[in-house]
């Protein structure tokens, strides 16, 4: 069986488990249980493999942390927390809790205590904020799991067994195993997002779009200082840099902010599941637009984001906003009912001089008037707009609109804007459109070459854009191909004349037959 076939089989198994076990719990809500238990297993096995490797290299080839007593295990707590960010006693490891689960009448309380202990192991350590509340949404005492403690525990035993039986690869926790855990998480998030409709789309950007954004943001680079997403969702978009560059080539790590508490927890879990150590990520909880968390950090060389479309924000109702250094240079605030360009200005402010920001935008911000036109004027006149890419419709969960990508840079060699019409670059897969690898390649090649191609790409000077009311809509600059069928008017008229003649002949024949029947 090939690696892809193994992955497909694993995905089918995970989704079947998720559906079989959720019972009456809504799928989008039940994801917290499946993903949370997956996370619990991951950190248990990750920690065990780490400690076993240390001790075996130190001269004890038979060392097995999972078989150690809790008392004997305490000696390594401080050093392990300093390195890994957390600690789990042997009796609290996933495998050991699972082994006892079927005979534990107080399993829900056992799990609750274990989760509290894992989070508590980071208290006072540098990793405290990264661990705090990670199990908040895995409520093992929730009546949604069952009407009685016994019923809840029965469901929890099945969940522990199902997650424990998943085959993720090698037993020594090699890189392949780590990839499998992260891949399983991404698969589940994608499936849950597709089932959840609009709500799912708020938290998850399809993998192929995430990869396209990341490759645009680091085009021409082999490493960057750090990467950032101010509307990080579940973190899947941000983590694409680990695939595109390699996580070690994101030197200072992965940064983001998320306003939704549940999704904030998912993003941090996602970091751990992709084996990003706590020192290499900084995911904050809060409102990016009014209370940004990374004021004191140096600017980011790569920024990607798929912020929520046209949401409400404080805008000019907050008198402090117009003096905010992120927004004040434009001289105007984004409309209170449409925060899209507020996110854009925030990212521009956070962008390094040698950096690139690739932002998914709602199409209306590219051509609407009023404050949004004034903000576009600021962006164009200061030569920050590098590229605008029209994406196909129906790529994202929860919406069928055709979005676009706005690429911003602060250090540009020329004063022109590249427009790419990629609206036809997709294949229909299931009930959504999808950017296949060949579609991504065509877009990236056009972005790199910065050339002109009929009906696909155009390079337009900022002066031309200014003269056209700062309209950044791709359809205004790239002429659409006329796909209508060419009609041969002369031939069509000849066919019509033939039909009319034939009709007249038939009518004459019918009249003759009728006259013959009527007789003299």
Q: Do 419 and 451 meet the contact criterion of CB atoms below 8 Å apart?
A: no
Q: How confident is the model at residue 172 (pLDDT cuts 50, 70, 90)?
A: very low
- Residues with Cβ within 8 Å of 286's Cβ and at least 6 positions away in sequence, in order, are 257, 259, 292, 293
Residues 471 and 504 in one domain: no
- pLDDT score recorded for residue 69: 96
End position of a domain, from candidates 196, 228, 259: 196
Residues 159 and 229 in one domain: no
Q: How confident is the model at residue 177 (pLDDT cuts 50, 70, 90)?
A: very low
- pLDDT score recorded for residue 180: 67
Least confident of 71-80, 196-205, 216-225, 473-482: 196-205
Mean pLDDT across the chain? 88
Distance of CA 201 to the CA centre of its chain: 9
Q: Is the pLDDT of residue 113 over 50?
A: yes
Q: CA dist 397 to 27, 193, 202, 205, 262, Å?
A: 15, 7, 8, 8, 18
- 175 belongs to a structural domain: yes
Provide φ and ψ at 356, rounded to 5°: -135, 135
Q: Do 338 and 372 meet the contact criterion of CB atoms below 8 Å apart?
A: yes
Residues 38 and 155 in one domain: yes
- pLDDT score recorded for residue 351: 97
Q: How confident is the model at residue 486 (pLDDT cuts 50, 70, 90)?
A: low
- pLDDT score recorded for residue 273: 85
Residues 192 and 204 in one domain: no
Residue-wise pLDDT tens digits, 274-322:
889 999 999 999 999 999 999 888 899 999 999 988 899 999 899 889 9
Q: How confident is the model at residue 519 (pLDDT cuts 50, 70, 90)?
A: low
- 298 belongs to a structural domain: yes
Residues 399 and 359 in one domain: yes
Residue-wise pLDDT tens digits, 487-507:
677 777 878 877 877 887 777
Q: How confident is the model at residue 196 (pLDDT cuts 50, 70, 90)?
A: low
Maximum pairwise Cα distance, the chain: 124
Return the higher-pLDDT residue of 1 and 134: 134
Residue-wise pLDDT tens digits, 331-342:
999 999 999 999
- 183 belongs to a structural domain: yes
* Dihedral class, residue 295 (left if φ above 0, else alpha if ψ from -120 to 50, else beta): alpha
Residue-wise pLDDT tens digits, 352-382:
999 999 999 999 999 999 999 999 999 999 9
Cα 144 to Cα 129: distance, rounded to the nearest angstrom: 29
Q: Say which CATH number the domain at 372 has.
A: 3.40.50.150
End position of a domain, from candidates 150, 180, 196: 196
- pLDDT score recorded for residue 233: 87
Q: Is the pLDDT of residue 204 over 70?
A: no
Q: Which helix (H) or strand (E) holds 27?
A: helix 27-57
Q: Say which CATH number the domain at 68 has.
A: 1.20.1260.30
The total number of structural domains in the chain stands at 3
Q: Do 178 and 185 meet the contact criterion of CB atoms below 8 Å apart?
A: no
Nearest CA-CA partner of 367 in 232, 234, 264, 469: 469
Q: Which helix (H) or strand (E) holds 428?
A: strand 427-429
Least confident of 193-197, 285-289, 399-403, 407-411: 193-197
- 439 belongs to a structural domain: yes
Beta bridge partners of 149: none
Highest mean pLDDT among 27-41, 177-191, 282-296: 282-296
- pLDDT score recorded for residue 504: 76
Q: Is the pLDDT of residue 198 over 50?
A: no
Q: Is the pLDDT of residue 176 over 80?
A: no
Cα 257 to Cα 428: distance, rounded to the nearest angstrom: 33
**Long-range contacts: 317-323, Cβ < 8 Å, 24+?**
318/290, 321/290
Q: Is the pLDDT of residue 480 over 90?
A: no
Taking residues 28-36, what's their average pLDDT? 78
Residues 404 and 444 in one domain: yes
- 482 belongs to a structural domain: no
Least confident of 14-23, 43-52, 91-100, 311-320: 14-23
Residues 305 and 440 in one domain: yes
% of the chain exceeding 70 in pLDDT:
90
Q: How confident is the model at residue 173 (pLDDT cuts 50, 70, 90)?
A: very low
Least confident of 132-146, 177-191, 467-481: 177-191
Q: CA dist 190 to 34, 237, 285, 499, Å?
A: 14, 12, 22, 57
Residues 177 and 280 in one domain: no
Cα 348 to Cα 448: distance, rounded to the nearest angstrom: 21
Return the higher-pLDDT residue of 251 and 6: 251
pTM for the predicted model, two decimal places: 0.84
How would you classify the pairing of strands 404-409 and 351-361? antiparallel
End position of a domain, from candidates 196, 226, 242: 196
Q: Is the pLDDT of residue 200 over 60?
A: no
- pLDDT score recorded for residue 166: 82
End-to-end CA distance of the chain: 88
Residues 186 and 267 in one domain: no
Report the C-alpha dihedral over residues 373, 375, 381, 382, rounded to 10 degrees: -160
How would you classify the pairing of strands 416-421 and 385-390? parallel
Least confident of 162-166, 246-250, 437-441, 463-467: 162-166
Token code pair at residue 159: 């969940």
Residues 70 and 113 in one domain: yes
Cα 103 to Cα 108: distance, rounded to the nearest angstrom: 12
Return the higher-pLDDT residue of 202 and 297: 297
Return the higher-pLDDT residue of 204 and 480: 480
Return the higher-pLDDT residue of 183 and 151: 151
Residues 127 and 265 in one domain: no
- pLDDT score recorded for residue 430: 80
Q: Decide: helix, strand or coil at residue 177.
A: helix
- pLDDT score recorded for residue 193: 66
Residue-wise pLDDT tens digits, 214-239:
999 999 999 999 999 999 988 889 99
Q: How confident is the model at residue 201 (pLDDT cuts 50, 70, 90)?
A: very low
Question: Range of 498's domain?
Answer: 487-520
Return the higher-pLDDT residue of 160 and 3: 160
Provide φ and ψ at 304, rounded to 5°: -135, 150
Taking residues 96-111, what's their average pLDDT? 96
- 481 belongs to a structural domain: no
How would you classify the pairing of strands 432-434 and 427-429? antiparallel
Residues 286 and 397 in one domain: yes
- 156 belongs to a structural domain: yes
Write the DSSP string, 450-513.
Answer: ---BTTTEEEEEHHHHHHTTT---GGGTSPPP--SPPP-HHHHHHHHHHHHHHHHHHHHHHHHH
């Amino acid at each position: 069986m090939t690696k892809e076939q193994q992955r497909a089989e694993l995905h089918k198994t995970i989704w079947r488990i998720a559906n079989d076990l959720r019972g009456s719990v809504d799928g989008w809500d039940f994801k917290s249980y499946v993903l949370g238990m997956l996370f619990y297993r991951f950190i248990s096995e990750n920690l065990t493999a780490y400690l076993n490797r240390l001790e075996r290299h130190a001269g004890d080839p038979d060392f097995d942390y999972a078989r150690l007593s809790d008392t004997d295990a305490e000696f390594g707590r401080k050093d392990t927390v300093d390195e890994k960010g957390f600690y789990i006693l042997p009796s609290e490891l996933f495998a050991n809790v699972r082994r006892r689960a079927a005979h534990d009448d107080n399993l829900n309380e056992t799990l609750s205590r274990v989760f509290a202990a894992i989070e508590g192991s980071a208290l006072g350590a540098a990793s405290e904020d990264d661990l705090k509340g990670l199990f908040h949404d895995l409520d093992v005492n929730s009546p949604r799991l069952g009407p009685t403690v016994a019923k809840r525990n029965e469901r929890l035993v099945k969940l522990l067994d199902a997650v424990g039986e998943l085959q993720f690869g090698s037993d020594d926790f090699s890189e392949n195993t780590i990839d499998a855990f992260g891949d399983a998480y991404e698969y589940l998030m994608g499936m849950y997002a597709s089932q959840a409709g609009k709500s799912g789309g708020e938290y998850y950007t399809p993998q192929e779009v995430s990869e396209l954004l990341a490759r645009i943001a680091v085009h021409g680079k082999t490493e960057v200082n750090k990467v950032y997403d101010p509307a990080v969702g579940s973190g899947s978009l941000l983590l694409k840099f680990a695939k595109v560059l390699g996580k070690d080539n994101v030197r200072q790590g992965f940064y983001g902010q998320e306003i939704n508490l549940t999704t904030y927890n998912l993003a941090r879990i996602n970091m751990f599941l992709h084996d990003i150590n706590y020192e290499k990520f900084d995911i904050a909880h809060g409102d990016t637009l009014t209370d940004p968390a990374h004021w004191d950090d140096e600017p980011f060389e790569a920024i990607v984001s798929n912020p929520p479309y046209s949401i409400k924000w404080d805008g000019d109702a907050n008198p402090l906003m117009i003096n905010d250094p992120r927004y004040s240079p434009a001289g105007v605030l984004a409309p209170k009912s449409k925060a899209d360009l507020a996110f854009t200005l925030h990212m521009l402010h956070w962008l390094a001089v040698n950096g690139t920001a690739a932002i998914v935008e709602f199409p209306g911000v590219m051509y609407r008037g009023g404050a949004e036109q004034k903000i576009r004027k600021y962006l164009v006149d200061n030569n920050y707009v590098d590229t605008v890419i029209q994406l196909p419709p129906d790529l994202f969960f929860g919406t069928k609109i055709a979005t676009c990508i706005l690429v911003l840079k602060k250090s540009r060699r020329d004063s022109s804007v590249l427009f790419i019409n990629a609206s036809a670059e997709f294949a229909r897969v299931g009930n959504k459109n999808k950017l296949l690898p060949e579609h991504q390649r065509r877009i990236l090649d056009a972005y790199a070459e910065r050339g002109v191609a009929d009906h696909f790409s155009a390079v337009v000077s900022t002066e031309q854009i200014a003269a056209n009311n700062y309209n950044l809509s791709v359809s205004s600059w790239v002429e659409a191909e006329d796909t209508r069928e060419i009609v041969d008017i002369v031939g069509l008229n000849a066919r019509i004349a033939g039909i009319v003649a034939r009709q007249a002949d038939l009518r004459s024949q019918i009249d003759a037959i009728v006259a013959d029947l009527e007789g003299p």
